[in-house]
Amino acid sequence: MQVRHILLYGVVAIAFILLIVGGWFRSQPDPEMGKRLVTNSCEICHDLTTAKNQERGPYLWGVYNRPAGVTGYSHSEGFLAKVSEEGFIWDDEHLDQFISNPGAFIPRTQMGKPSAKHPTAFDGIVSDANRKDVLAYLKSLR
Ligand code: HEC
């Protein structure tokens, strides 16, 4: 084999490795991006830094792995029905389902429904990658 060929194969192999490593880094959840998404999409209704409920929503401080509906917030009937039917904790799976489409996971939840008290509602985050970023940030709130 000529030196030229060895060099060429070397460059191709290095480019390939960089591509794989780069892809792996991009697929990792990014809590900094999650923080921005949460600031823009959730903070209007949820307190993130203290255990204080807002008029518009229960606090999310320490929400990760917390049982659903235990903050003392006055929850909607739809939410209470879901919790009494199957008590669950806010782990990755439940948070992901709720955030991707609140009304599909908990029918008639206040979070996904506009009203006089809550004129804005939250439709959900469509992007899988963005939801992973949001979860990475929510885990750090403790
Ligand atoms: C328009 C206001 C609003 C926005 C925006 C909003 N939420 Fe909510 N959220 C609520 C309300 C209201 C409830 C209580 C739901 C009920 O009782 O039906 C709730 C409940 C929750 C709960 C359950 C808390 C518990 O203690 O069981 C989680 C988790 C949650 N929201 C996460 C989020 C995240 C994450 C975002 C942003 C990606 C977000 N919410 C955006 C209003 C909102």
For 89, the 3-state DSSP assignment is strand
Q: What is the pLDDT of residue 109?
A: 94
Mean per-residue pLDDT, 115-124: 79
135: how many CB neighbours lie within 10 A of its CB? 19
Provide the token pair at 30.
């990014």
Pocket of ligand 1 (CB under 6 A): 38, 41-42, 44-46, 56-58, 60, 63, 68-69, 71, 75-76, 78-79, 90, 95, 98-99, 109-111, 118, 120-122, 125, 134
Integer Cα distance of 139 and 102 in angstroms = 19
Q: In which region does residue 62 sit, left (phi positive, over 0), alpha (psi from -120 to 50) or beta (all else)?
A: left
**Contact assessment for residue 135 and residue 34, using Cβ atoms and an 8 Å cutoff:** yes
The ligand 1 atom nearest the CA atom of 109: 18
For the domain 30-139, what is the CATH code? 1.10.760.10
List the residue whose alpha carbon is closest to atom 6 of ligand 1. Answer: 42
Query: What percentage of the chain exceeds 90 in pLDDT?
Result: 73
pTM: 0.86
Is 32 or 115 the better-scoring residue by pLDDT? 32
Asked if the model's pLDDT at residue 14 lies above 80, the reply is no
Compute, in angstroms, the gap from residue 26 CA to the centroid of ligand 1: 28
Integer Cα distance of 99 and 131 in angstroms = 7
DSSP state of 67: B
List the residue whose alpha carbon is closest to atom 39 of ligand 1. Answer: 42
Integer Cα distance of 77 and 71 in angstroms = 16
Q: What is the pLDDT of residue 26?
A: 62
**What type of residue is 134?**
V
Integer Cα distance of 123 and 29 in angstroms = 22
Integer Cα distance of 55 and 64 in angstroms = 21
Q: What is the pLDDT of residue 5?
A: 82
